[in-house]
Amino acid sequence: MALRWKNTLKDHHVTDEKLFLNRRQIMGGAVAGLGLGTIGGDLQAAPEGLEPNPYEDITQYNNYYEFGTGKDDPSRYANALTTEPWSVTIGGMVDRPGDYGFEDIMKAMTIEDRLYRFRCVEAWSMVIPWNGFELADLLDMAGVQSSAKYVAFETAYRPDEMPGVKYPVLEWPYVEGLRLDEAVHPLTIMATGIYGKDIPKQNGAPLRLVVPWKYGFKSIKSVVRITLTDTQPPTSWNKANAGEYGFYANVNPQVDHPRWSQASERPVGGGLFSRRQPTLMLNGYEEDVADLYAGMDLVRNF
Ligand SMILES: Nc1nc2c(c(=O)[nH]1)N[C@H]1C(S)=C(S)[C@@H](COP(=O)(O)O)O[C@H]1N2
Ligand SMILES: [Mo]
């Protein structure tokens, strides 16, 4: 079964790597980050006008609890993760189950630039220039069977390389899941790079899920297993606290976390000019993905 419907993807999410490079050159020339708005003013990073966070924000302010719960723990400790060789075991309701080597996947996939908003459930946000391929294309490689309704994902579990897994903050390995229609939506990607470079280990090397309209915890890192199933898979944060973290985890400014508001967010970085900004319904991707949730109660299915 062919899962792609690329033609529905809005052009404005796809960005041009050359623009990133121009932007970086300009940023390198700016004094202490001041005046960027003016200097870069007529250089649109994307048709939508999104300004990507600097590489440093994206790679030094992270959540990857296998390496510790501090925001700077992943950038300090994730270099211990062995990412070569790497393979993803794809199984369950597929025609061609097996271990898919990372290099073979990369040869078969088309790598695109996607400039996406990224919104953590903790109410901070960034704009990240990912490089990656559509998850639908990888699932097509394995051949999804018509009985499949969900996709389950699993992160590597390496006690020798991951200092954080000795703490029972979460049950390890980290697991996540999507409904099949969410998984094959053209906005859903497996990211393999940032700013045109291989994705750093702290960001989930060598490949991690990115679902831009959902809270960041859905975007599981360093994926080693993908399983097609007909039942809703367990997910790490939901197992840890079902009252606070649901399966859907769609960004929704009208549905607060039990302990804080989700109506606004703090953009990471921004220095002197940093201020909270309103959170957008489905993180700004409502036009693209609202149909997936037609008729669903998004308060109950948070
Ligand atoms: N395996 C794994 N994946 C994970 C996490 C994690 O702790 N372990 N943290 C999640 C959370 S809460 C967020 S906000 C994003 C952070 O991604 P970033 O560090 O690349 O910004 O990764 C998600 N994926
Ligand atoms: Mo998060």
Pocket residue to mutate for ligand 1, from 75, 169, 192, 219, most atoms within 8 A of Cβ = 219
CA-to-CA separations, 163 to 70, 82, 170, 205, in angstroms, rounded: 12, 14, 13, 17
CATH number (3.90.1300.10, 3.90.420.10, 3.20.20.210, 3.40.50.300) of 11-293 reads 3.90.420.10
Residues with CB under 6 Å of ligand 1 are 62-66, 120, 155, 174, 203, 216-217, 219-221
Pocket residue to mutate for ligand 1, from 221, 251, 265, 283, most atoms within 8 A of Cβ = 221
Count CB neighbours of 27 within 10 A.
15
Mean pLDDT check: name the lowest of 24-33, 58-67, 177-186, 252-261.
24-33
Ligand nearest to the CA of 62: 1
| 222 neighbors 156 (Cβ within 8 angstroms) | yes
Tokens (6 digits) for 42 = 């007529």
- Distance of alpha carbon 68 from alpha carbon 159, whole angstroms: 12
Q: What's the pLDDT at 143?
A: 98
At a CB cut-off of 8 Å and minimum separation 6, what does 245 contact?
A: 121, 217, 235, 237, 238
pTM of the model: 0.88
Ligand nearest to the CA of 53: 1
Mean pLDDT over 180-196 rounds to: 98
How is the chain split into domains, by residue range? 11-293
Residue nearest to atom 12 of ligand 1 (CA): 217
How does pLDDT run across 61-93, given as a tens digit for each residue?
A: 999 999 999 999 999 999 999 999 999 999 999
Element spanning 177, H or E: strand 175-179
How does pLDDT run across 271-302, given as a tens digit for each residue?
A: 767 789 999 999 999 999 999 999 999 999 99
| 247 neighbors 293 (Cβ within 8 angstroms) | no
